[in-house]
Amino acid sequence: TFTVPFAQSAYYNDEMMEKWKKSLQILLFFCKIGCFTFGGGWSIVAQMQQEFVEKRGWITEEELLDFTSVARSLPGIMIANTSLIFGYHMAGVPGALAAVVGITIPSVVIIALVTLVYDAFRSNPFVLRALTGVRAAVIPIILSAALRLRKGALKDWIGYALAAVAAVLSILGVNNIIIILFGVAAGLLISEAKERAMRKEGSGQ
């Protein structure tokens, strides 16, 4: 009579231990990229793609694209939203907290330290030159991540067409929210059209 409850308890404890172990790994990873990654949210997404898609295999490219798309559509900082969604997906609430703390704490500490010496940094020519080099080096990292992730988003000519339209709208200065809503509407309409076509083929019409 005590075997099943004990087994369930052991399984629950093992599951919780695995979540906390994974949460610690998430915390350490996001602390690392929070300290050493330049270029904003997209360069961090590139690091996530390398670490969690290619190296560890925790998520697929499609899942990372979904996390980023949802995070980009929500209010707040895109990379913080992405980190929270990823952490929750991997390890529940502990994972979400670990990801958010890991990505924000280094930035807060670094900004606080920079603020103390901002006047000296602002006029220092060596710092300005170094930042110019960093900004230039970040571009290939972002482009590399975009090229890797395109396989999950651009699967047929429809995906390429929607991406091209979104790119033109972005160049024209259309608000990002409108572009995202356009993508949502187009995705729903295209999916509905495909389902109708499949139903017609199945019915032999």
**169-196 confidence digits (pLDDT tens):** 888 888 877 887 888 788 888 878 877 7
Is the pLDDT at 20 greater than 80? The verdict is yes
Angle between helices 41-48 and 125-153 (to 10 degrees): 50
Q: How far is CA 194 from CA 131, 157, 165, 187, 205, in A?
A: 48, 14, 20, 11, 15
Is the pLDDT at 131 greater than 80? The verdict is no
**23-70 confidence digits (pLDDT tens):** 998 999 888 888 876 666 677 888 888 888 888 888 888 888 888 888
pTM for the full predicted model: 0.60
pLDDT band (50, 70, 90) for residue 148: low
